[in-house]
Structure 1
Amino acid sequence: MTANLDPLAVGHRLRDLRTRRRLTLAEVARDSGVSVSTLSRLESGKRGATLEHLVPLARVYRVTLDELVDAPDSADPRVHLRPVDHAYATVIPLTRRVGGPRSFKMVLRPDGREPDPRSHEGYDWIYVLDGRLRLVLAEHDVVLGVGEVAEFDTRTPHWFGCADDRPVELLSIMGPQGERMHVRARPKQARS
């Protein structure tokens, strides 16, 4: 795979993805398992990227390998959705654009989690497709049904999940900051 990749072009793309997400080399190294020195050489074009580097970096940046190396679009007009499974949700990216607002379809599974509001930079818009969604937003605790919409500044402590024992399907549109790590809104109680 490295024979067809221009190290300078790939390096520029890697640096652009990292800086747009406001991540340091150390943060990317921690999350990808690729060393800081290797990341630096990849970004400067002094080292060619291999699949061993690209696969974990694509996961960290939440892009496809084609997006990571900026491969040209093919003539195939079909949308190829690649769901990502989390402990309590399946997230399907609906847009592939990097750096701007992104849209996702989410299927939340009931798991008995208690609300744990968190905040981060950005803005979020949520539309309920199916089921009932519980949204805790600062002091508000509301249940949204099919066709209802919520929008909020994500710097406000928030949490959402299933309102009952059925899954919830929703659409979410968020800015690039919304993909970053959530910060705990209140400290957890110390155990005695």
Structure 2
Amino acid sequence: MTHDDGELDSLVRKRIRALRVAQGWSLEDLAVRAKVSQSTLSRIENGRRRLALDQLVTLARALDTSLDQLVETDTDDVVSSPMIDAARGLKRWPIKADPGMTVVRQRMTDPPPGDPSRMRAHPGREWLVVLSGTAILLLGNRRLRIETDQAAEFPTMLPHAIGAEGGPCEILGIFDRDARRGHQRGEDAGRASRARR
């Protein structure tokens, strides 16, 4: 296995766990849905069992995603700077947008969570533009610093979390349909978890 294969292997395992946690499911819950034993699923998530294509297909279905999204690796160009149209006095951030997008303006004051298990993963794509301050994007194993007027675009199948650095920041978040649904499910699971306490 090459170094790149090892990184993909680790990334897929983290996505499986993050998607499971984002749904609020235990190992047992996902194991039942995927029709695999709980111990097999645990070994897959922890890297003690080889990833087999047939199991990945089954797990992707059980997690309500596709195999393509589960193994996606196109994450090189995450952060971008605006294009300035001086003649019109405009700043533009190039994104590959689809119809049905949701835009949310948000003020953040807390840093991203230090606990990797609190990172979320779900189908879709997300974009964010930092309007003021500095945002920190945790994306898989990467920690990206996004300054005022910079933007980031990433697949939400990568475990991710966003927070502020050095004081408040204001961001504009843009979600495709799948990412919006993933965030809504995560919020619903969070509310249910807090209600059980």
TM-score range, shorter chain: 0.3 to 0.5
Q: Kindly indicate which of the two structures has a greater share of residues assigned to helix.
A: 2
TM-score, normalization by structure 1: 0.40
Q: Which has the larger radius of gyration?
A: 1
TM-score, scaled to structure 2:
0.39
